[in-house]
């Protein structure tokens, strides 16, 4: 059995998509979902799947490094084979990144374009005719780890709502697939 931990900060739609996809898995178990936001709606989504939820608010720490050290100490006992960032809105320090063998993230653009925050908005507002989603391994450089999967679509003429919905549809489909591929080889 492979253990995964999912980190999230907000709504938890990717967390829910992953939990739905893995609910009958005999090989992969979500052992914990952790949020830095005590009011995150994803807490309700996680509990719907009987996933243990940990809350570690970053606002209780003076520095990013202090928070990441506490985060590592909290997650190590879960013995994660994979850490999955699913809308975890924190830039992680080497203290965290170097403490786990495999951490992945999903990003709402075709990396290396539109790294960092507000990527989906910047992608939508660009003159590009293609947009998409990237799943990548987390490294110590923001949104720069090894690309594990990408999917693109023609974004010409789409409204913001259509664009955003297409990004979410792709995320919810490819993220669970990448997780399965990584852990069942």
Give catalytic residues, as residue numbers: 107
Measure Cα distances from 22 to 14, 28, 50 in Å.
12, 7, 13
Give the containing element (helix H, strand E) for 173.
Answer: helix 160-183
Q: Which of 5, 24, 25 is nearest to 15 (CA)?
A: 5
Q: Which of 71, 94, 84 is nearest to 182 (CA)?
A: 84
Location of structure tokens 């209780």: 60
> How is residue 158 annotated by DSSP?
-
> How is residue 59 annotated by DSSP?
G
Q: Which of 127, 105, 129 is nearest to 117 (CA)?
A: 105
CB 133 within 8 A of CB 170: yes
The C-alpha atoms of residue 46 and residue 154 are separated, in whole angstroms, by 33
């Amino acid at each position: 059995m492979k253990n995964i931990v999912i980190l999230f900060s907000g709504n938890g739609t990717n967390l829910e998509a992953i939990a739905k996809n893995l609910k009958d898995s005999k090989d992969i178990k979500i052992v914990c979902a952790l949020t830095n936001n005590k009011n995150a709606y994803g807490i309700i989504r996680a509990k719907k799947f009987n996933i243990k939820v940990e809350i570690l608010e970053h606002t209780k720490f003076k520095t990013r490094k202090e928070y990441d050290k506490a985060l590592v100490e909290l997650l190590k006992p879960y013995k994660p084979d994979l850490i999955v960032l699913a809308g975890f809105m924190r830039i992680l320090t080497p203290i965290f990144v170097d403490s786990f063998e495999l951490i992945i993230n999903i990003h709402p653009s075709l990396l290396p374009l539109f790294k960092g925050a507000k990527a989906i908005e910047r992608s939508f507002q660009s003159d590009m005719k293609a947009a998409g989603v990237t799943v990548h391994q987390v490294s110590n450089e923001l949104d720069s780890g090894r690309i594990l999967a990408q999917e693109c679509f023609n974004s010409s003429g789409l409204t913001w709502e259509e664009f955003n919905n297409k990004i979410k549809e792709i995320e919810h489909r490819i993220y669970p697939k990448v997780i399965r591929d990584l852990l069942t080889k």
